[in-house]
Amino acid sequence: VHAVNNLVWNPGWRDFGKSPNLYVEVHDSKDHIFKTRIVKRNTKPTWTDSFELTSPPLSMLTFRLLHDAPGPDVRIAEAETTVGELMEQSFPNEAVVWLDMKAPNGEILGRLSVSLYAFTGGKGIEKMSEDTSKLKLQPLVGDALDSFVAVEGLSGAKISDTLSAVLSALENIVKVGDELAKIHPYANAAWKVLTSVYKIVQNQREADEKVAQLVEAMARLYSFAKEVDSVVNNSKPVQDIVLRITMQTMECALLLREYSGHGFLGRIAKTSILGVGQRIDELTAALLRLKDEFDRGIAVQTTVVSAQILDKVEKLENSSVLSDLKRARRSSHRPSTRRECLPGTRSEIIEHITQRLSTPSEARIVWLSGVAGSGKSTIATSVSEYFRGLGRLGIFLCFARNDMVGSDPILVLHAIAYGLATLHPHIEAAICMALSRDSNLVDAPIDKQFQELLLGPLESVKQHLIGPFIVVIDALDECADNSRNVLGNLITNFFTKLPAAFRFFVTSRPDFNITRLFRHKAVVEECSLDKAAENDHDISVYILDRLATIRQAHRLSCIWPGEDVIQQLINLSGTLFIWAATALDFVEGKKLFEPHKRLEALLKTPFQTGGNLDQLYTLALASDGDWDDKGFRESATAILAAIALAKAPMTDSAMDAILGLDDGTAARVLNFLGSVVQWSAGQPARTLHASFDDFLVSPHRVDNPWFFDVAKAKKSLASGCFMVMQKHLKFNICRLPDSHLLNSEVSGLKETRESHLTPALTYATRFWGPHLGDSAFDDEILVSLQGFLTDKFLFWLEVLSVLQEMASAPGILQFAQKYMLVSTGFQHGRILLLNCRLSGKRQVD
């Protein structure tokens, strides 16, 4: 270990502004720790310390830079590499290697120089070569496979024995995977499915030749499992290979289960699955490629081969046929900002859900119910990512309270159809065929669309499909009442008629209407999050993880904040993850407050019950906002109202324009609200949880400085949309070379619209109708509506077209029609609207 250069040093409160006392710890894969001497009061330390390493090339080395501080030492930054990487860079010229030293948040705080030298006489290299040889294939548990892998044409009994050995090997990976959160779910699921296959073939006298071929390939692949703990834990590349091995095993297990007659197709599967021989050949080849990859210890990113029967399908002009369905996919609330569960949390319930969705049963729907803030959405994200990794996620739909477009039942049906069509070529061909036969199908009643767009096509290709295929629907309770009832009925009474391979995972609060539709039905399995045994443990893990991050970022004592305080936070959280998340966001803060002081303020608050969100939100807003300042108060209430009532999250610049605020006002205010609002400059602002929206719009907040009149706020948003459109809409706003060109004929259309359409104009164009529908009748808004229809209507259609949202125009105009019906004296306006609707129809046609 030589030196540290370019160190970024920020003294903590215990350092009194002095330079650090630095030393380096070196951790190897065997948990050996080597320490350099301490260089005192120096930000450019140098050492001549050396250590003897006997680890193999794939072993991980961690270099940690620490400060010998008063009290517990402070970890400043660290770097990771492998022995092999150091060898490549150091040998044969014994070159100095520079490593980037990174803080927990990824920021580079300096560079560490190290060198790796061979022992005299080459003993070091010999030792490493000897250790490297241990990565070669080892005999499987008890050498159980040696007598089977070379046998051609296995009997049923020998297949059973070979599968038993594979299961033993896979069980080793499951045990190692307990420490590797990314591998464990797939290894565990594959082990369970393969166990069910083993029980089936145990009593078979004869085995299919193709089945024997696949099982033999699995046995060859798993011959590494005896040494899996020493190999996997030491190397990130090897971990990636093992992850893909377990995912490939899951695909093999699903095919074997289906072929045995115990899968989603039932007992007819063996005679009805099409192209299964070719598929087994492809799976076998994939297993052999992975075996070769593991032997070489190099991750070449072999693609996991699906068990689906992907023989040639006649190619239609599918992109254009599916375009209407794709629009529905765009309109759905996107889950891209959602986070997965923290590793080590929610393991039991996620495993239960994924297993139930993967196992043939009468229950086609798994329904996760729980109170607000209990972590349903995070679990939904983890479940969806699990099945996305297997290539079996049809779609992940997340509903939001004010997103009226995204929760429209017809659009939900279209989004699911599009998602499934992109998942499998036979599904795509069948759905496209249905749309080609009836170009008006997307406008038919919902029950007919279900029959002809989903049920018929999926039934016609089910013999090509090896399940499961998963649709995840999060926050069903956030839909409007009318949509919620229709969607609930669609899920429980229609979707359950689809082929058994299609499974649905739904989350919601235990709303009365949802409970009435879902509870006590054979096709629904309910999981109650409020009763989950692991709640307390998982919240504890989450709180400890967040406190560790805060502690490292602010360089606090390693014992901060103490066991008693941690237990107090766990008790205050009750069973609500959102309470813990919001509380720790408050403690961390975006401004330059010291966390220990904010934690003291939190703990001094006399919370009435565990998980009391109202008191927590009150504390966060009162502490972070300058509510005595009239200007801040007026701007902040308008911005909070816009966030709570928006039809889609708005950027800070969009809020400035629509609310009529000075440029930069929203950004300045949002900087104060980081404990309760998720936002960064130029990005849409979102509340951290729907419960904060409930808090803001409650009439019981009238005495709080952040209270806003909901009716006035709705009027303000509608007026703001008309103001923005009146100011900015104009002919050929995107400056296209020819306004008669089709969108498909315009090169770089996406970049063009992003450079000419502001976020405020895009939002107003899409959502003035729903905001108008939310507003009580008002003469000023009526005048704005008349001016818009008279002067800007065709320009509005042009922008809708560029945004590829033309199909939404009739629905938006219906809001205008209903609004005008309230006015008995606006006959001219109704005639004007009729002319506009006719003009709009011609534009759409």
Phi/psi of residue 333, nearest 5 degrees: -70, 120
Whole-number pLDDT of residue 151: 36
Please give the order of strands across the beta sheet that includes 365-369: 393-398, 469-474, 502-508, 365-369, 524-528
Indicate the range of 11-15, 109-113, 241-245, 758-762 predicted with least confidence: 11-15
Label residue 579 by pLDDT band (50, 70, 90): very high
The CA-CA-CA angle for residues 186, 188, 190, to 5°, reads 65
Strand 33-35 vs strand 393-398: parallel, antiparallel, or unpaired? unpaired
> Could you tell me if 575 and 598 are in contact, meaning their C-beta atoms sit under 8 angstroms apart?
no
Q: Distance between CA 575 and CA 374 in Å, rounded?
A: 6
Whole-number pLDDT of residue 133: 39
Provide the 10 A C-beta neighbour count for residue 315. Answer: 10
Rg (CA), the chain: 31
> Could you tell me if 135 and 231 are in contact, meaning their C-beta atoms sit under 8 angstroms apart?
yes
Label residue 743 by pLDDT band (50, 70, 90): confident
Q: Quick one: average pLDDT of 18-24?
A: 89
Phi/psi of residue 5, nearest 5 degrees: -120, 155
> Could you tell me if 687 and 671 are in contact, meaning their C-beta atoms sit under 8 angstroms apart?
no
Cβ contacts of 654 within 8 Å, gap of 6 or more: 758, 759, 760, 762, 763
Amino acid at the residue 717: L
Q: Omega into 561 within 30° of 0, i.e. cis?
A: yes
In the block, residue with structure tokens 């006997």 = 54
> What letter would DSSP give residue 701?
G
Cα 553 to its chain centre, rounded Å, is: 25
* Residue 617 reports pLDDT greater than 90: yes
Whole-number pLDDT of residue 270: 59
Whole-number pLDDT of residue 702: 84
* Residue 813 reports pLDDT greater than 60: yes
In the block, residue with structure tokens 């039991």 = 348
Whole-number pLDDT of residue 471: 97
* Range from 124-133, 182-191, 651-660, 799-808 that averages highest in pLDDT: 651-660
Strand 365-369 vs strand 524-528: parallel, antiparallel, or unpaired? parallel
Say what the pTM is.
0.69
Tokens of 190: 């594959």
Strands annotated E in 390-528 = 393-398, 469-474, 502-508, 524-528
> What letter would DSSP give residue 455?
I
Tokens of 351: 């495993």
Whole-number pLDDT of residue 139: 35
Whole-number pLDDT of residue 324: 66
Q: Distance between CA 730 and CA 795 in Å, rounded?
A: 6
Q: Distance between CA 178 and CA 189 in Å, rounded?
A: 13
